[in-house]
Structure 1
């Protein structure tokens, strides 16, 4: 990196297509309080806040793939001391030799945000003070009378709220049971062996999966993660579940399944953009007779395929998340596999493990049976929770192909 760019009055970094930091200038390193050796080769998530990671997943990378650039996107970076730094980012996708890189310019907005917040606060305080001064004497007696009435009303509302809280808790528990009952059981036979983990961060989950044996040789496995948590996300997972269960069981092709799920989300929110939800998804069709795997990854964390000899491949994102852009063409990817290979699919609740744990963990547990590998992943996940105190829906599926 030349001297002028290295010390420019703005941050500059280059990323690979998968988000790996290839280079970073001195200005941005100083802002983030890192050294170049600490960040080069790391995933960009290491300098993003949790909301910014989701923003990158749902908007930044899909926009770059579609338009080859991003202009004036507002996000927050995270320093080595966990301080949030608001920035404007402009990015351009550029071809270099045999690879494609993302060149990003980041302009800190901390001072501007502070000034705007101070001005808004001062304006609000002035308006409140003026109104209070003009009306205080005239309204004091009326307010006291209203407060007495409101006190009685609040006592009654509190009783109603307690009753509603108890009833709502019962309804949520019933909804949780219904949601978990809809989940399919793992398939274990002479061709495939599976282990599953599913854990909601609250009463209801935005994660959903389905496992179906379509005939003697074909198996469909789908894993989705609807944005957000709680009731709204859970309701959407149930509508998606009903649809993909019917499509996969009927033997529809991989691209048609994803296209129908995408169309369903667009139709669901076509009259209400404010309520729009998106969903990442990965669907695999395993053919044990041909020993092939067809798959499409729509903005989902990359699944891991491991050959019997330990060589690994990432089944990365091939399309934006479902429900983001209309008219997306879903292209099916196919690869052959050898007997003895192992698959790992997971949602972003397991994502902090991806860069540091999942890949080496899978490689180091080749001789172990699947239930032991599952225990190892859960132990690593618990260790990560102790460090990051993270709360998110957690799901993963382990598959051995015999």
Structure 2
């Protein structure tokens, strides 16, 4: 590495597309307390906090890959001793000898935090001086001038914070668009017809679903609901999405899919119980040639199967939610179906205002509705109930007709 860059007054590192540290300057090594041998060829996750790891995987890397650069991103690094250091990150993606590299400049922000604390301290000192009746007029005037200067600095800082808020809202909008784009399109062919509905309670949702055609006769359908709402739940659901998409596309059995999701969540939060998240989920592996459905329900509201003659079966949960308890054995259940049946899956954001009995009644009372008409009927019921129901939750449901 160039000597000037190696000793630059800011941190520098270069990353491969796999997140491997290709090069790192001495300034950043000294800041983190590592030697070059300890970090060279290591994954970037080893110096990122857990939230920063998720932010890197789900936001930073996709953004720098698309936009080729990232400016003024605020994350935290971990030193060798486990201390968190806030840094301001700028990055750009370029090719070197045909190999794409992401060059990152990291500027420590601890001084800014210290400066904010000093401003607050100066303000408190000024207020104490104003309250002291025995202070001389000359001292009071000096304090007032100091306060005026500090207030101007604080106003400038507030303006910066407002800009940060605006930028964050734009980034959340981009993240919401990425989350919605990742949702798969319903499948419609000679075997199955699907409809779905998805609505986030805020900018981002903890609900996630996916439809996948594995081969000419097998299909995978999954719906899950991560604990809570907002950014943290959305980050977890998006990280699970890439995993279950890969597993389901390979035609892996339902119990193994759930086991891998459970293992992933336990590994993700292994050293941070306070940040731990779990999720309810139900996965169905449909074989239209055998006319069989293999499924596992982990703490999720029961799906409803309605046969062509109107008989209904509830696909109840048989295990706790994914990521809640280690060592769970996921057992697959299987049932045969006849053509002309209908399947309804949903998250608790739908049943909280409606109730599961109401969903069953809609299915039972309107067996001849098309799948589109049934979807509109459920949405009308949700709209009607939400006027008298105040809890705000993510909402998601899936309808499948078997031809």
Does TM-score exceed 0.5, indicating one fold?
yes
Relative to structure 1, is the Cα distance of residues 314 and 150 closer, same or farther in structure 2, using a 3 angstrom cutoff?
farther
Q: How far did residue 271 of structure 1 move?
A: 0.8
Residue deviations 1:117-142 (CA, integer Å, cap 9, x gap): xxxxxxxxxxxxxxxx9xx7599979
Superposition map of 1:226-241 within 5 A: 226-241=226-241
Alignment correspondent of 2:162:
162
CA distance in 2 between counterparts of 1:396 and 1:256 reads: 24
Q: How far did residue 275 of structure 1 move?
A: 0.6
CA distance in 2 between counterparts of 1:316 and 1:383 reads: 27
Q: How far did residue 153 of structure 1 move?
A: 3.4
* C-alpha contact (below 8 Å) 1:357/1:380 kept by paired residues: no
CA distance in 1 between counterparts of 2:216 and 2:266 reads: 34
Taking only aligned residues, the RMSD between alpha carbons, in angstroms, comes to: 2.3
Alignment correspondent of 2:364:
363
Alignment correspondent of 2:55:
none
Relative to structure 1, is the Cα distance of residues 160 and 356 closer, same or farther in structure 2, using a 3 angstrom cutoff?
same
Relative to structure 1, is the Cα distance of residues 151 and 334 closer, same or farther in structure 2, using a 3 angstrom cutoff?
same
CA distance in 1 between counterparts of 2:373 and 2:150 reads: 60
Alignment correspondent of 1:172:
172
Relative to structure 1, is the Cα distance of residues 401 and 149 closer, same or farther in structure 2, using a 3 angstrom cutoff?
same
Relative to structure 1, is the Cα distance of residues 137 and 284 closer, same or farther in structure 2, using a 3 angstrom cutoff?
same
Matched, 1:394 2:384: no
Q: Secondary structure at the match of 1:388?
A: coil
Matched, 1:211 2:208: no
CA distance in 2 between counterparts of 1:239 and 1:312 reads: 34
CA distance in 1 between counterparts of 2:313 and 2:234 reads: 31
Relative to structure 1, is the Cα distance of residues 356 and 146 closer, same or farther in structure 2, using a 3 angstrom cutoff?
farther
Alignment correspondent of 2:58:
none
CA distance in 2 between counterparts of 1:139 and 1:234 reads: 57
Q: Following TM superposition, where does structure 1 have runs of at least 4 consecutive aligned residues deviating by more than 2 angstroms? A: 136-154
Q: Secondary structure at the match of 1:328?
A: coil
CA distance in 1 between counterparts of 2:145 and 2:278 reads: 49
CA distance in 2 between counterparts of 1:220 and 1:298 reads: 16
Residue deviations 1:210-251 (CA, integer Å, cap 9, x gap): 100111111100001111111111111111000000000011
CA distance in 2 between counterparts of 1:209 and 1:370 reads: 18
Q: How far did residue 390 of structure 1 move?
A: 3.0
Alignment correspondent of 1:302:
302
Q: How far did residue 364 of structure 1 move?
A: 1.0
Matched, 1:257 2:257: yes
Residue deviations 1:360-398 (CA, integer Å, cap 9, x gap): 011111000000000000000111110113321111000
Alignment correspondent of 2:47:
none
CA distance in 2 between counterparts of 1:189 and 1:316 reads: 28
Residue deviations 1:264-301 (CA, integer Å, cap 9, x gap): 00000001111101111000011111111111111111
Q: How far did residue 357 of structure 1 move?
A: 1.5
Normalised by the length of structure 2, the TM-score is 0.64
CA distance in 2 between counterparts of 1:138 and 1:277 reads: 55
* C-alpha contact (below 8 Å) 1:194/1:370 kept by paired residues: yes
Relative to structure 1, is the Cα distance of residues 138 and 396 closer, same or farther in structure 2, using a 3 angstrom cutoff?
farther
Alignment correspondent of 1:376:
377
Q: How far did residue 151 of structure 1 move?
A: 2.7
Normalised by the length of structure 1, the TM-score is 0.64
CA distance in 2 between counterparts of 1:325 and 1:145 reads: 60
Relative to structure 1, is the Cα distance of residues 199 and 139 closer, same or farther in structure 2, using a 3 angstrom cutoff?
farther
Q: Secondary structure at the match of 1:338?
A: coil
Alignment correspondent of 2:277:
277
Q: Secondary structure at the match of 2:242?
A: helix
CA distance in 2 between counterparts of 1:147 and 1:301 reads: 58
CA distance in 1 between counterparts of 2:173 and 2:366 reads: 37
CA distance in 1 between counterparts of 2:246 and 2:259 reads: 14
Relative to structure 1, is the Cα distance of residues 323 and 150 closer, same or farther in structure 2, using a 3 angstrom cutoff?
farther
Q: Secondary structure at the match of 1:241?
A: helix
Q: Secondary structure at the match of 2:297?
A: strand
Residue deviations 1:19-62 (CA, integer Å, cap 9, x gap): xxxxxxxxxxxxxxxxxxxxxxxxxxxxxxxxxxxxxxxxxxxx
